Amino acid sequence: MDEDEVGTVDVPEATVARLPQYLRALAELAEAGLRTVSSEALAEAVGVGSAKLRKDLSHLGSYGTRGVGYDVNGLHRQIADRLGQTTPWNVVIVGIGNLGHALAGYGGFATRGFRVVGLFDDGPHVVGELVNGLRVRPLADLGTVVRPGEPTIGVLAVPAEHAQGVCDRLVAAGVTSVLNFAPTVLRVPADVDVRKVDLASELQILAFHAQRRAVRAALRTPLPNPSVPVSDRVGEVV
Ligand SMILES: NC(=O)c1ccc[n+]([C@@H]2O[C@H](COP(=O)([O-])OP(=O)(O)OC[C@H]3O[C@@H](n4cnc5c(N)ncnc54)[C@H](O)[C@@H]3O)[C@@H](O)[C@H]2O)c1
């Protein structure tokens, strides 16, 4: 197994993608007063198979106790730690248009350990506006909020044609993690992480699955009886 920079065993990307779901489920179990949980119950709460859950947690060095399960608070702490959520992360949002306004007003970041510390836009109609307690600043002020060495996540909510330029300025200011909502591929240095949120692609994937389900259902439908005239076949698609 690979060792990452902090000397801990590397965790597969697919497992990392499920960790936030485990974290949320554990938080709910803790709130409900549960102290231990079986792998089956936790797997069911998240909607994955229990073998996959056990394998995922083994990557964190967590194997639970036979007959008892996992310690809810302990596992929550461990996952939060691996996700870097034990200390709050700073977040700046660039592009305070339709999407940027919605993101800036979203209360869920704070409860997951993310602190929105700056809102930026270059539109004169937006700069100076107060959104959820923060004044929108021009991009030129980026350096007053983002400091090299202080982990900050940059959220890009600008039109696609401006995304690369804004991304370059975020990176130059010291941002090493970018969440990109613009439908474009960004070029970044090797030490910068980019995650893309492409809502249209997600809809296309859903449409693909819905279409496949419809085709399968049609194939399962018995063929019409050819001896009955078409006009008499009530409700049949012809
Ligand atoms: N609105 C949505 O539901 C939605 C959903 C998915 C993805 N997106 C994507 O998110 C991005 C933003 O969408 P939107 O609907 O909020 O657009 P918008 O036009 O409402 O807002 C874009 C904002 O970016 C600012 N901006 C433009 N260039 C800039 C620059 N160089 N520096 C700083 N600010 C700049 C503009 O002044 C504006 O306020 C787009 O790339 C869009 O494709 C939007």
ipTM of the complex: 0.97
Give strand pairing partners of 178: 154, 194
99, 101, 106: which to mutate for ligand 1, most atoms within 8 A of CB? 99
What CATH superfamily is the domain 89-198?
Answer: NAD(P)-binding Rossmann-like Domain (3.40.50.720)
Ligand 1 atom with the smallest distance to the CA of 99 is 16
pLDDT digits (tens, 9 = 90+) for 136-160: 999 999 999 998 778 899 999 999 9
**219: confidence class by pLDDT, cuts 50, 70, 90:** confident
One-letter amino acid at 107 equals G
CATH 3.40.50.720 domain locations along the chain: 89-198
Q: Token digits for 7?
A: 């000397």
Tokens 């002020």 belong to which residue?
141
Measured at the CA of 219, the angle between CA 214 and CA 225, to 5 degrees, comes to 125
Cβ of 158 below 6 Å from ligand 1: yes
pLDDT for the residue numbered 1: 41
Across the chain, mean pLDDT equals 88
Q: What is the DSSP string of 184-225?
A: SPPP--TT-EEEE--HHHHHHHHHHHHHHHHHHHHHHSPPP-
Q: In this model, does residue 3 exceed pLDDT 80?
A: no
Q: How far does the centroid of ligand 1 lie from the alpha carbon of residue 126, in Å? A: 12
Phi-psi sector, 179: left (phi>0), alpha (psi -120 to 50), beta: beta
- What φ, ψ does residue 202 adopt, rounded to 5°? -60, -40
What average pLDDT does range 196-208 have in this prediction? Answer: 92
Ligand 1 centroid to Cα of residue 158, in Å, is: 3
pLDDT for the residue 7: 38
Q: How many helices (H) and strands (E) does the chain have?
A: 9, 9
DSSP code at position 238:
-
pLDDT band, residue 42 (cuts 50/70/90)? very high
Whole-model pTM: value is 0.77
Task: Tell whether the model's pLDDT for residue 8 goes beyond 70.
Answer: no
Residue 100 is labelled as binding a ligand: yes
For residue 31, the model assigns a pLDDT of 87
Distance separating alpha carbons of residues 213 and 74, to the nearest angstrom: 41
pLDDT at 26 over 60: yes
In Å, what is the CA distance from 151 to each residue of 39, 70, 117, 174, 178? 34, 31, 12, 8, 11
Q: What pLDDT shows up at residue 235?
A: 46
- Type and span of the H or E element at 116: strand 114-120
Distance (Å, whole) CA 192 – CA 190:
6
Q: Tell me: is residue 107 an annotated ligand-binding position.
A: no
- Within the chain, all domains assigned CATH 1.10.10.10 are found at 13-82
13-82: CATH, from 3.30.565.10, 1.10.10.10, 1.20.120.1150, 3.40.47.10:
1.10.10.10
**Tokens found for residue 204:** 């296309």
Contacts of 156 (CB under 8 A, 6+ apart): 94, 95, 163, 166, 167, 170, 178, 179, 180, 181, 182, 186
- CA 99 – CA 116 distance, rounded (Å): 15
State if residue 162 touches ligand 1 by the CB under 6 angstroms criterion: yes
pLDDT band at 238; cut points 50, 70, 90: very low
215 CB near ligand 1 (under 6 Å): no
The 3-state DSSP class for residue 198 equals coil
Tell me which residue has tokens 């554990």. 26
**Among candidate residues 118, 125, 164, the one with its CA nearest the CA of residue 139:** 118
The angle subtended at Cα 27 by Cα 30 and Cα 49, nearest 5°, is: 100
Report whether pLDDT(4) > 60: no
86, two tokens = 């034990």
Q: Hunting for tokens 């506006």 — which residue is that?
A: 129
pLDDT of residue 81: 87
